[in-house]
């Protein structure tokens, strides 16, 4: 068996990995490292597609790889050869196997065969009857372009068949704090198993068979074809069943509300959801998903707050209450009128550095560790955060610049602000850059060296001491470890007077490869 990670659906990624993927998707492809240079990527299309083929082929090319498009008839999945044999054969030539298939089990069988054979080739789902993760990623990217990077508190109304497209969108929404309502005809709604997966990630939304209820107050309305490939025999029955589920001007008027929903403005005067009817017994009791207009917290309407406001309130709750679970924390926030999903508070707790501690009596609760003033570096939380997100460090005078993947600078800045890191006066976080102001006595060189050490940069680069010299040609402190310390007679680099010294992870100056 191997430890290869396969991508079957959106939740094959962690929330932080999903954020990195979305951020990288907005970067100029020409600036990305050629991660697939000299490698082949098999694209098996049992179902044809124009957009998926073109986008995937060009993505592979942008990363330096060579895509090979393979039609289903060319390999004859489970006709000429079993799916397992096809996977093992393609893995001899390719580093990645992407497939667009009729049956989701084909993907899991391929992945299982490769794992059993010890062939470390990941399988990526380009579409199956169960999931459409690439579509969901594109949908989140579209919503971010419309509303900004944070989708917390936004609502999407999905109208139509609660199929693979809905499921992947709902899972992705749960991971970024996006509410996904769904309106489907009876018999075409979400299954209990699908709802359990969504709510297990902290997902929230409305499940109804009335489109008007689903779109009330929504920021965006989403629909899909009523009859997908392979369902042609059901076309007549589906057209009859989905009568009244057309997304038209009349339905969109019911979704409209006052206020600017786009990037520039806040939400105002959002209308209440319709009271609805009694929930269908098939979905009764599904946690986190309100049926037919019922609100999860009927006693108090949800208040939209910024992330910093929410994290400040979480800090106060952890200081005054014994909070034993993320679900409990969501309930406490809801009691104060603050809407947050479990996925959201999970990210908040991680950024705040919260730890589980044992209380008298044996119970456990979240707590925020107080770092003593004499502690040089918080070896647990800060080393983990910086080691994961900092990809490059540079300094000039008493200023230090830390580079992160796009959209991740605030995580590093927040961790540094809370750490009491010696010699740091404060930080300013942008999108992919954190500006660290060092105290005069500490100096930018010393703080940069310690931050580089905590981030693990020196262990990954092996950069010569010449590059690690400051603008006057003075070597950085010995904390950078022996393999990066320059010989005593090393001369300063030619550009030492014009370019700030920097140290970065090997092979990347824009993003860090994560396992």
> What is the secondary structure of 74-105 as a DSSP string?
HHTBTTTB-HHHHHHHHHTT-SEEEEE-S-HH
Q: Are 345 and 329 in contact (CB under 8 A)?
A: yes
- Match domain 381-504 to its CATH number in 2.40.280.10, 3.40.50.150, 3.20.20.140, 3.30.1360.40: 3.30.1360.40
Whether 32 shows a pLDDT value over 50: the answer reads yes
Average pLDDT over the chain, rounded to whole?
A: 77
The two domains 307-367 and 381-504 share their CATH topology (first three levels equal): no
Give the strands of the sheet with 289-291, arranged side by side.
220-223, 155-159, 179-183, 205-208, 289-291
Q: Are 219 and 156 in contact (CB under 8 A)?
A: yes
3-class SS shares of the chain: helix, strand, coil, % to 5: 35, 15, 45
pLDDT digits (tens, 9 = 90+) for 137-164: 999 999 998 888 889 989 999 999 999 9
The mean per-residue pLDDT over the stretch 210-237 comes to 85
438: closest CA among 403, 396, 473, 477? 396
Whether 371 shows a pLDDT value over 80: the answer reads no
The mean per-residue pLDDT over the stretch 301-325 comes to 77
CATH number at 10-127: 3.40.50.1370
Range with lowest mean pLDDT among 278-287, 439-448, 454-463: 278-287
Q: Are 354 and 368 in contact (CB under 8 A)?
A: yes
Q: Both ends of the chain: CA-CA distance in Å? A: 17
Q: Is 347 helix (H, G, I), strand (E, B) or coil?
A: helix
DSSP H stretches of helix in 372-497: 381-389, 409-419, 443-455, 457-461
pLDDT of residue 421: 86
Q: Are 38 and 45 in contact (CB under 8 A)?
A: no
Whether 489 shows a pLDDT value over 60: the answer reads no
Whether 509 shows a pLDDT value over 70: the answer reads no
Element (H, E) at 114: helix 104-116
pLDDT of residue 217: 86
Phi, psi of 22 (to 5 degrees): -65, -40
Q: Parallel, antiparallel, or unpaired: how do β-strands 155-159 and 179-183 relate?
A: parallel
Whether 72 shows a pLDDT value over 50: the answer reads yes
pLDDT of residue 488: 40
Contacts of 150 (CB under 8 A, 6+ apart): 177, 307
pLDDT of residue 99: 97
Q: Could you please report the per-residue DSSP string of 434-462?
A: EEEEEPTTTHHHHHHHHHHHHHTHHHHH-
pLDDT of residue 63: 93
Q: Which CATH architecture has domain 134-225+237-291?
A: 3-Layer(aba) Sandwich (3.40)
411: closest CA among 515, 318, 307, 508? 307
The mean per-residue pLDDT over the stretch 358-374 comes to 65
Whether 199 shows a pLDDT value over 80: the answer reads yes
- Match domain 307-367 to its CATH number in 1.10.3720.10, 2.40.10.10, 1.10.10.10, 3.40.710.10: 1.10.10.10
Interior/surface letters 9-28, b for 16+ CB within 10 angstroms, e for the rest? bbbbbebbebbbebbbeeee
Sequence spans of domains, the chain: 10-127, 134-225+237-291, 307-367, 381-504
**Distances from the Cα of 389 to the Cαs of 48, 298, 303, in angstroms?**
38, 39, 31
Q: Are 168 and 252 in contact (CB under 8 A)?
A: no
pLDDT digits (tens, 9 = 90+) for 403-451: 988 767 777 887 788 777 889 999 998 878 999 999 988 899 989 988 9
400: closest CA among 349, 353, 429, 434? 434
The mean per-residue pLDDT over the stretch 294-320 comes to 64
DSSP-assigned beta bridge partners for residue 103: none
Tell me the whole-structure pTM to 2 decimals. 0.54
Phi, psi of 352 (to 5 degrees): -80, -10
Give the span between the Cα atoms of 480 and 46, in whole angstroms. 53
Whether 500 shows a pLDDT value over 70: the answer reads no
Taken in order 175, 180, 185, 221, the sign of the CA dihedral is: negative
Give the span between the Cα atoms of 369 and 367, in whole angstroms. 6
Give the span between the Cα atoms of 14 and 12, in whole angstroms. 7
Range with lowest mean pLDDT among 45-59, 169-183, 353-367: 353-367
């Amino acid at each position: 068996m191997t430890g290869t990670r396969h991508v079957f659906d959106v939740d094959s990624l962690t929330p932080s990995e999903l954020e990195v993927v979305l951020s990288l998707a907005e970067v100029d492809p020409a600036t990305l490292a050629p991660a697939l240079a000299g490698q082949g990527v098999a694209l098996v299309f049992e179902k044809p597609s124009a957009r998926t083929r073109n986008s995937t082929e060009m993505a592979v090319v942008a990363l330096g790889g060579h895509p090979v498009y393979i039609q289903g008839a060319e390999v004859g999945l489970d006709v000429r050869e079993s799916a397992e044999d096809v996977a093992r054969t393609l893995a001899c030539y390719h580093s990645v196997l992407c497939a667009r298939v009729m049956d989701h089990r084909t993907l899991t069988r391929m992945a299982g065969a490769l794992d059993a054979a010890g062939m470390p080739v990941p399988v990526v789902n380009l579409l199956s009857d169960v999931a459409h993760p690439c579509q969901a990623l594109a949908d989140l990217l579209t919503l971010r372009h419309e509303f900004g990077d944070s989708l917390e508190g936004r609502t999407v109304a999905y109208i139509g068949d609660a199929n693979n497209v809905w499921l992947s969108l709902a899972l992705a929404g749960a991971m970024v704090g996006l509410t996904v309502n769904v309106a489907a005809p009876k018999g075409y709604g979400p299954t209990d198993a699908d709802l359990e997966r969504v709510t297990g990630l902290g997902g929230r939304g409305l499940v109804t068979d009335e489109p008007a209820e689903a779109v009330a107050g929504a920021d965006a309305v989403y629909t899909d074809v009523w009859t997908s490939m392979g369902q042609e025999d059901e076309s007549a029955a589906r057209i009859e069943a989905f009568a009244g589920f057309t997304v038209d001007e009349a339905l969109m008027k019911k979704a409209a509300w006052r206020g600017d929903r786009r990037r520039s403005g806040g939400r105002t005067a959002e209308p209440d959801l319709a009271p609805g009817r009694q929930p269908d017994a098939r979905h009764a009791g599904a946690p986190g998903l309100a049926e037919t207009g019922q609100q999860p917290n009927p006693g108090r309407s949800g208040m939209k707050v910024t992330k910093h406001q929410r994290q400040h309130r979480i800090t106060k709750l952890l200081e005054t209450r014994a909070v034993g679970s993320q679900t409990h924390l969501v309930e406490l926030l809801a009691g104060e009128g603050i809407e947050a999903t479990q996925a959201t508070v999970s990210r908040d707790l991680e950024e705040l550095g919260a730890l589980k501690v044992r209380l008298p009596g044996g119970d456990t609760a979240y707590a925020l560790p107080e770092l003593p003033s004499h502690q040089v570096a918080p070896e647990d939380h800060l080393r983990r955060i910086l080691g994961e997100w900092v990809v490059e460090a540079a300094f000039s005078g008493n200023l230090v610049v830390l580079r992160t993947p796009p959209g991740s600078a605030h995580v590093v800045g927040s961790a540094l602000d809370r750490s009491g890191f010696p010699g740091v006066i404060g930080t300013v976080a942008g999108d992919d850059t954190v500006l660290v102001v060092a105290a005069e006595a500490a100096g930018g060189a010393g703080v940069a060296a310690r931050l580089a050490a905590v981030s693990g940069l020196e262990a990954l680069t092996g950069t010569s001491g010449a590059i690690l010299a400051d603008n006057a040609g003075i070597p950085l402190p010995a904390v950078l470890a022996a393999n990066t310390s320059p010989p005593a007679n090393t001369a300063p680099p030619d550009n030492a007077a014009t370019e700030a010294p920097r140290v970065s992870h090997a092979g990347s100056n824009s993003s860090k490869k994560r396992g």
